[in-house]
Structure 1
Amino acid sequence: MSAANLRSSVSGAAQDAATVTSDTVTSAADSATGHSIKLLTFNTWGLKMVSKHRKARLRAIADELAGYSAAIPIPGYESLMINETPEQGKQYDVVALQEIWCKEDWDYIVSRCSQAYPYSRIFYSGIIAGPGLAILSKIPIESTFLYRFPINGRPSAIHRGDWYVGKSIAITLLEPISEDTAPIAIMNSHMHAPYALKGDAAYACHRACQAWDFSKMVNLYKKAGYAVVVVGDLNSRPGSLPHKFLTVETGLVDSWEQLKGKQDLQALSKMEPLEQLRYGCTTCDSFLNTWRSYLPTESACRLDYALIDPSRLKTTDAGPRFTKRLPGIGSFSDHFAYACNLNLLSNRRTTDVETGDETPSKRDIQLQKYASYEEMIQCISSYRVVAKRQKFLRGVHFVISILLLIGALVVTTFTSNRAAWSSIFWVFFAVVVSVTGTIDGLISFLFGRKEIRALHEVEEEVSCAQKHLQGLLDVKKR
């Protein structure tokens, strides 16, 4: 269905804001017969007690998706609001959300959007709150599946929380919208965050390992005949190793680049904020976002994606959404949303689809894969040194804690006779040593071993793929 027809149907349903009927479900059916879907992905920044104005912002997001907007354009940047009408939220067929970490926020979203989006699912994993992944859909959901990343930060990084929430891939299989198009697999994820551009805090190896696993899941569903769409906050810039795994390794293309062509990231960093958003769809760290306006303009980047299978899907429109501001609060989230319109190509179609750039040859793709494998093996090798060192130091701390505990018990027997009050100090000292030593011991012997073995497993997988590709390249050289 065309955007104009869908806009018309939704506008008719919204004339009486007090009564929303089943017209939205009919609209979804009409959209399906048009062989296209409209997709939105949005990192909502919903951390409890951390995110500012969380409750008000998440409710405003739900209201916007339900078609009731109280937001206003950014002063002086009204031209950004192209296609962002009060009814825009209801026009999406699928909405993929990240950082939904409070049950009351999700309950409100489901209640507010139940008529606009009759099908919904939030995913549960991890120790605290879950991965924060959720989906709203007008298209019936056939089945869902959650894959939790085995390599995902450290339990010692309590202040970061990635390990505790259990970063995952939330896979949602939608019912086919027509007989001659492939069923759709929405793979929504929020990969491990970078807390620095370089060094151990960048968690580059963790994201690369996650992207490697991600690529395997994508290829499985592609072979099963699904039109795969990878969405979410992937915390990886275009051209990075994780981005290569999710594109070169899988054959997926960036929907934004399919429509606009590849981006010159250096030129993008020198542009004005408005041009960055228009040219590069900089959904993260934009100066125009009130929660990130303290950052320099060159920090703006694109971390929110919709990666699609070009043999089954084609981008017809795309751009940032939720760029407006809420009076008295600011931007909806610390990210802008990303939306795209995707045409589903007929299963009978055999011609190649334009990807926004010249299609590389098969050999070029193989060489790119080989280079990615080399980079990955080096990345794992470098991080393994860090992982082993941390495991060793925590093990040493555990052993030292045992010795200190024994020493504290011995010292207490001597000092208590001379100064009874000192016993309190030594008891407190023993408790602290016991708790911290035990925690570090568990992290060393349980998590440390698990992480090193998981890294070794990924390394073996990459090496196996590299050897196979080396054989193919050698054959072609003869």
Structure 2
Amino acid sequence: MQSAALQAALWEIWSNFTQALTPIGHIAQPNTAVAMATDSPITLRVFSLNCWGIRYRSPHCSLRYHMIAELLASEKHDVVLLQEVWSEQDYLFLKKQLICTHPHSHYFKSGVIGSGLAVFSKHNLQDSFLYRYSLNGYPYMAHHGDWFGGKAVGLVIFNVCGLTAHVYVTHLHAEYCRDKDSYLPHRVVQAWELQQFVRHTSRGADLVILGGDLNMHPQDLGTRLLLTYTGLRDCYAETEQFDGCEEGRTLIAENPFTDKKELIPFEKGIRIDYIFFKGSSRVCVKCKLFSTTKGSVPGKPFPYSDHEALSAELLLLPQQTVDPNGAELHSCDTDALAELVDTVTEARTEVKVGLHCAERMRHTSARTGLLGLVLLMLELAIGVVPWLTPGTQQPFPQASFYLLGVLCLATLLSALLLYIFYCTQVKALQAAEDQMHLAVGGLQEKLHGRPLGRPGDPYYEALAFSQPMPLDPEE
């Protein structure tokens, strides 16, 4: 009996040992129960809203957060993507109010006052990451405040019935004047970094969702760059049913919080808030219903925010075929590649314009700093004269002399700070332009290396006799 017990004990020890040596890849295989859970269609409801939560400045901020909490608790969306939750106290309030309906949440902290990004979810969040954009306005434009917010894109990962979902929430730099938009290069670079972040971090994901305030119109350069490069699809354009403002507008004239000057020349409103999605080889995604709020809340004197809230109902249809190489799903035909080359080239041109402006401002700040240094040295020389020649009186009144010295020192320090700031701006713009240069070269190589069609095809003949001009080597 002792021998049998000893053999049983040794066998158990050996089994545990061999199990510990089993490769991780074999342990991590999905079980049958999870795989079976994805055989039927899955409904995923997504909500996005720019809350306009600027404490002591946004009207009725506290009351509007109570209204938002009531809406989210009653609607019970699967994923909630919020922007401009600038105060962490407001986030904690929403977290407390939504503990029953959305027990999992994450608040992305960035910059001086925070990124304002928050995610609430029914599903357990497995991982999160924040990427802060390299360009985000100017610190001396304090009345705009974008630089202090630390605009960024946040990523959360969770599991839905065995499917891995990568959900992104972002908020890009605002457009304060469409005719003379000095922030356009910054927003283009942000869109470029956003598409890079989504592409490189979503590899292997079964479902990709991006929501937020992009501050770009549907046909703007940044929007086209994002969609064509990532293969993301617009819920408004793809939905089977729509209920909301005309043309999906999210800044409308009927909203009492909207500044009508911001809508010029778009009197009826603009669409700058979006929910994008993309499936994979494991799951086909369709937008069944997309809706927006329509101004003031029924029974309330004002709306949830100056932006309209977005709600999308996505239908996930699991597929049996799996691409082991994780190939891109969006179209890679000749037309799509040619369009992508044109879009990236246009973005590169816009970045070059911003680069020239930043270099000019850097030179201006350097010259201003040099002038301040010369004046300060002259002040010091004048101040030293009475010490070197006893009996000589100070040629300037003492108060004016010290005031002039303080101004010279302030000019020198301000110019130095601006020079450092614009040096970082130039480096960031140069980095983005270099990345776009490589991307255009790679896309052109892929375009020329692909079969362009059959002889006799008009598009084939056009490409055969009019090849795109190569880039300037000096660029």
Could you state the TM-score of these two structures normalised by the residue count of structure 1?
0.76
Q: Which of 264, 270, 281 in structure 2 is aligned with 1:301?
A: 270
| Structure 2 CA distance for partners of 1:431 and 1:256, relative to 1, 3 Å | same
Matched, 1:210 2:186: no
Provide the residue aligned with 2:208 in structure 1. 228
Provide the residue aligned with 2:177 in structure 1. 196
Matched, 1:166 2:150: yes
Distance 2:346 2:137 in 1: 20
Distance 2:342 2:354 in 1: 18
Q: How many Å apart are 1:418 and its aligned residue? A: 6.8
Matched, 1:455 2:435: no
Q: CA RMSD of the aligned region, Å?
A: 3.0
Q: How many Å apart are 1:327 and its aligned residue? A: 7.2
Matched, 1:467 2:441: yes
Provide the residue aligned with 1:441 in structure 2. 416
Distance 2:355 2:80 in 1: 38
Distance 1:63 1:408 in 2: 64
Matched, 1:288 2:254: yes
| Structure 2 CA distance for partners of 1:111 and 1:390, relative to 1, 3 Å | same
- Structure exhibiting the larger radius of gyration computed from Cα positions: 2
| Structure 2 CA distance for partners of 1:463 and 1:412, relative to 1, 3 Å | same
Provide the residue aligned with 1:373 in structure 2. 344
Secondary structure of the structure 2 residue equivalent to 1:343: strand
Q: How many Å apart are 1:320 and its aligned residue? A: 0.5
Amino acid in structure 2 at the alignment position of 1:199: K
Provide the residue aligned with 2:6 in structure 1. none
Provide the residue aligned with 1:48 in structure 2. 55
Distance 2:55 2:273 in 1: 22
Distance 1:186 1:209 in 2: 21
Provide the residue aligned with 1:37 in structure 2. 44
Amino acid in structure 2 at the alignment position of 1:441: L
Q: How many Å apart are 1:455 and its aligned residue? A: 1.3
Provide the residue aligned with 1:355 in structure 2. none
Secondary structure of the structure 1 residue equivalent to 2:211: strand
Matched, 1:137 2:121: yes
Could you state the TM-score of these two structures normalised by the residue count of structure 2?
0.77
Q: How many Å apart are 1:170 and its aligned residue? A: 0.5
| Structure 2 CA distance for partners of 1:49 and 1:390, relative to 1, 3 Å | farther
Q: How many Å apart are 1:405 and its aligned residue? A: 2.2
Q: After superposition, what is the alpha-carbon deviation per residue over 1:351-386, rounded to whole angstroms, capped at 9, x for unaligned? A: 9xxxxxxx9771111111011122012111111111
Please say if residues 50 and 83 of structure 2, whose CA atoms lie closer than 8 Å, have aligned partners that are also in contact. Answer: yes
Please say if residues 221 and 228 of structure 1, whose CA atoms lie closer than 8 Å, have aligned partners that are also in contact. Answer: no
Secondary structure of the structure 1 residue equivalent to 2:307: coil
| Structure 2 CA distance for partners of 1:368 and 1:465, relative to 1, 3 Å | same
Secondary structure of the structure 1 residue equivalent to 2:447: helix
Matched, 1:118 2:103: yes
Distance 1:184 1:242 in 2: 24
| Structure 2 CA distance for partners of 1:207 and 1:454, relative to 1, 3 Å | same
Q: How many Å apart are 1:412 and its aligned residue? A: 5.8
Please say if residues 44 and 99 of structure 1, whose CA atoms lie closer than 8 Å, have aligned partners that are also in contact. Answer: yes
Q: How many Å apart are 1:255 and its aligned residue? A: 0.9
How do 1:401-416 and structure 2 match up within 5 A? 401-410=372-381
Q: How many Å apart are 1:447 and its aligned residue? A: 2.2
Structure 1: 5+ residue stretches without partners: 1-29, 67-86, 264-274, 352-358
Q: Which of 360, 364, 367 in structure 2 is aligned with 1:389?
A: 360
| Identical pairs, percent | 25
Q: Which of 413, 418, 430 in structure 1 is aligned with 2:405?
A: 430
Q: How many Å apart are 1:147 and its aligned residue? A: 0.6
Please say if residues 405 and 430 of structure 1, whose CA atoms lie closer than 8 Å, have aligned partners that are also in contact. Answer: yes
Provide the residue aligned with 1:317 in structure 2. 289
Distance 2:413 2:39 in 1: 57
Q: Give the count of matched residue pairs.
A: 399
